[in-house]
Amino acid sequence: MLRAVHVIVEGRVQGVFYRVSAREKALGLGLVGWVRNIQEGRVEIRAEGPEAPLAEFLAWCREGPKEAQVIGLTIQEAAQGDLAPGFNVLD
């Protein structure tokens, strides 16, 4: 079963390779989607894939790379099927 989520990550998550690390983790898990920096030092993620790999990715998002300090994660269910193949870092 596929699941799609929209995630906002708060904390010290910009300038610590969060986006690149999230992309590598997502690709390793076979997920599709994108990640980008947004206002107020947050990171926005849209990800889709099978339930188990997506759950593993969300667990990773709560920690991030070692330089990050995640203080909050907001997860909302999203519509499935509107993502391009791969997992992209957006500007």
List residues with catalytic annotation: 19, 37
- Could you tell me if 21 and 64 are in contact, meaning their C-beta atoms sit under 8 angstroms apart? yes
CA distance 51 to 49: 6
H helical segments located in the chain: 18-28, 51-63
